[in-house]
C-alpha cells in the first residue's frame, strides 16, 4: 500500500491548521463529538455539556444556534440573532441547539431553558437600520463557502458511493483557493488513521479497534487519494487560468497558430502559459497520446522561440524525446515536483529513445519551463 511520505516519514506530529494547542490536547482526551441514542438522561446531558464546553468555541456555538433556527424556519429570529454581540451568545444554549439539530431527544427542561434563555439573548440585539448593517467581508464569504464545500464532500463520503474528488471539484468549478482548506481539513484524519494502524498511540488504537486492518488500510488509501486530488486540482486550476493579455503584440502573433493540450484529466496535468516559452532555456512537454516526454534546450541565451506550431532556436544535440513506459504517472510526478538537478538526470533514467517531437499539437501538454 502506498502512503503519503509527507504525512508518514516524519515522526513529529503536525499541528493542525487554525487549531490551537489546547484544542489538540482536548481532542486527544475528549474524543470526537458524542453520540446519544434514545431519551437523554441528565448524566448524558452533563457529559455533552463538558464536551461542547471544551471543544466548541464561540463561533461554533453561534453557528450551532443559527443552524437550529434555520432548521425550525425561524428566519426573523435568525436575522435578529445575527446582530447580537458575541459576548451575549449563551454557550449552553448553543450546545442544546446543536443536540436538537442532530436529532437527539434532549430533556424537556433543557428545551425550556433553551427557549427562555434564547428569548433573553434576543433582547441584546443591536438595533440598526438596513443601511447601517455592515456587509459581509470577503473573508467571511470565503469562510462560508468553504464550510459549504466541505459539507458537500462530507455528504459524498457518508453516502459511501465511489467518487473522484478531482472530477467533482472540476464539475462544480470550485476555485483553487479552497483546495488548501480541503487538504488541511482531511490531513489530520489521514494522520490519525495512520497512527491508529501503526499502534503507536494506545488511545487511537482502542478508538479504531472496531475496524479491521484491511478496512483501515482502505480508509487510509481513500483519504490519501482525496487529499492528492485536492492538491492536484488546485495546481491544475491555477495553471489553466486565463493568461494575462501580452504587452507586446508580437507575442500574440507568435502564439496565434500554436495548438496545445490545455489539460488532461487522465493524468491530472495542465499546461503552463505558452507565453513563458519565449526566451526560456528549457521546455518540457508530454504527448498524452503516445506517452512521450520531450525536453527542448535553448542553443543560446536568447532562449527558445515559437514559429507556427514548432519550437525553434533549440540545441539539436541536447534536446531529446523518450517514451515513459508503462508508468507515465511516476515520470510526470517527478517532472512536476523536481528541480533543475533532478531534471538533468531524468532523461538518463528513461531507456526508450524516440524521434524529437519538434511540433506542438493538440495532444501535447506544456509541462514546465526553466
What are the E-state strand segments in the chain?
Answer: 263-264, 269-270, 282-287, 292-297, 305-307, 310-312, 320-323, 352-354, 364-369
Contacts 24+ apart (CB under 8 A), 203-210: 203/28, 207/31
Distance CA 103, CA 86 (A): 26
Residue 11 in domain: no
Do 265 and 229 fall into the same domain?
no
Do 128 and 148 fall into the same domain?
no
Residue 310 in domain: yes
Do 259 and 231 fall into the same domain?
no
- Dihedral angle over CA of 183, 185, 191, 192, nearest 10: -160
Q: pLDDT exceeding 90 applies to what percent of the chain?
A: 16
Do 303 and 331 fall into the same domain?
yes
Do 92 and 26 fall into the same domain?
yes
**For residues 116 and 107, is the Cβ–Cβ distance under 8 A?**
no
Domain that holds residue 295: 249-369
Q: pLDDT exceeding 70 applies to what percent of the chain?
A: 86
Do 222 and 153 fall into the same domain?
yes
For residue 245, what is the enclosing H or E element?
A: none
Domain boundary pick from 218, 239, 260? 239
- Dihedral angle over CA of 100, 104, 109, 114, nearest 10: -10
Domain boundary pick from 100, 132, 164? 132
Average per-residue pLDDT in the chain? Answer: 82
Query: In this predicted model, what pLDDT tens digit does every residue of 189-212 receive, in sequence order?
Result: 888 888 888 877 788 778 788 888
- Domains identified in the chain, total number: 3
Instruction: Quote the pLDDT of residue 342.
Output: 78
Domain boundary pick from 187, 210, 239? 239
Do 126 and 152 fall into the same domain?
no
Q: What is the pTM of this model?
A: 0.36
Average the pLDDT over 54-81 and give the result.
Answer: 89
Give 313: exposed, middle or buried? Use CB within 10 Å, 0-12, 13-18, 19+.
middle
Phi-psi region of 207 (alpha: psi -120 to 50; beta: other; left: phi over 0): alpha
**For residues 296 and 311, is the Cβ–Cβ distance under 8 A?**
yes
Chain centroid to CA 341: how far? Answer: 30
Amino acid at each position: 500500500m502506498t502512503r503519503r511520505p509527507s504525512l508518514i516519514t516524519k515522526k513529529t506530529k503536525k499541528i493542525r491548521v487554525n487549531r490551537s494547542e489546547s484544542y489538540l490536547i482536548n481532542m486527544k482526551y475528549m474524543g470526537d463529538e458524542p453520540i446519544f441514542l434514545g431519551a437523554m438522561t441528565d448524566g448524558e446531558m452533563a457529559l455533552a455539556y463538558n464536551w461542547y464546553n471544551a471543544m466548541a468555541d464561540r463561533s461554533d456555538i453561534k453557528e450551532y444556534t443559527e443552524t437550529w433556527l434555520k432548521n425550525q424556519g425561524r428566519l426573523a429570529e435568525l436575522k435578529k440573532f445575527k446582530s447580537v454581540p458575541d459576548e451575549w451568545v449563551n454557550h449552553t444554549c448553543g450546545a442544546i441547539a446543536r443536540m436538537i439539530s442532530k436529532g437527539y431527544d434532549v430533556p424537556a427542561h433543557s428545551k425550556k431553558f433553551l427557549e427562555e434563555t434564547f428569548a433573553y439573548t434576543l433582547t441584546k440585539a443591536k438595533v440598526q437600520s438596513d443601511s447601517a448593517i455592515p456587509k459581509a467581508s470577503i473573508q467571511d464569504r470565503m469562510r462560508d463557502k468553504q464550510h459549504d464545500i466541505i459539507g458537500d464532500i462530507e455528504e459524498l463520503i457518508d453516502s459511501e458511493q465511489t467518487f473522484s474528488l478531482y472530477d467533482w471539484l472540476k464539475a462544480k468549478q470550485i476555485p483553487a483557493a479552497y483546495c488548501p482548506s480541503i487538504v488541511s481539513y482531511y490531513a489530520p484524519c489521514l494522520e490519525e488513521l495512520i497512527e491508529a494502524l501503526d499502534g503507536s498511540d494506545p488511545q487511537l488504537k482502542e478508538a479504531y479497534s472496531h475496524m479491521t486492518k484491511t478496512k483501515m488500510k482502505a480508509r487510509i488509501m481513500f483519504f490519501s487519494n482525496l487529499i492528492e486530488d485536492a492538491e492536484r486540482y488546485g495546481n491544475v486550476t491555477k495553471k489553466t487560468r486565463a493568461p494575462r493579455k501580452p504587452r507586446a503584440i508580437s507575442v500574440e502573433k507568435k502564439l496565434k497558430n500554436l495548438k496545445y493540450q490545455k489539460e488532461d484529466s487522465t493524468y491530472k496535468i495542465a499546461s503552463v502559459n505558452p507565453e513563458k516559452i519565449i526566451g526560456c532555456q528549457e521546455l518540457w512537454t508530454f504527448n498524452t497520446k503516445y506517452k512521450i516526454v520531450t525536453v527542448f534546450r535553448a542553443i543560446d541565451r536568447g532562449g527558445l522561440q515559437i514559429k507556427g506550431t514548432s519550437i525553434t532556436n533549440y540545441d539539436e544535440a541536447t534536446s531529446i524525446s523518450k517514451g515513459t513506459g508503462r508508468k507515465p504517472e511516476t515520470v510526470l510526478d517527478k517532472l512536476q515536483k523536481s528541480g533543475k538537478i533532478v531534471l538533468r538526470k531524468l532523461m538518463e533514467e528513461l531507456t526508450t529513445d524516440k524521434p524529437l517531437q519538434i511540433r506542438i499539437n493538440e495532444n501535447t501538454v506544456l509541462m514546465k519551463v526553466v
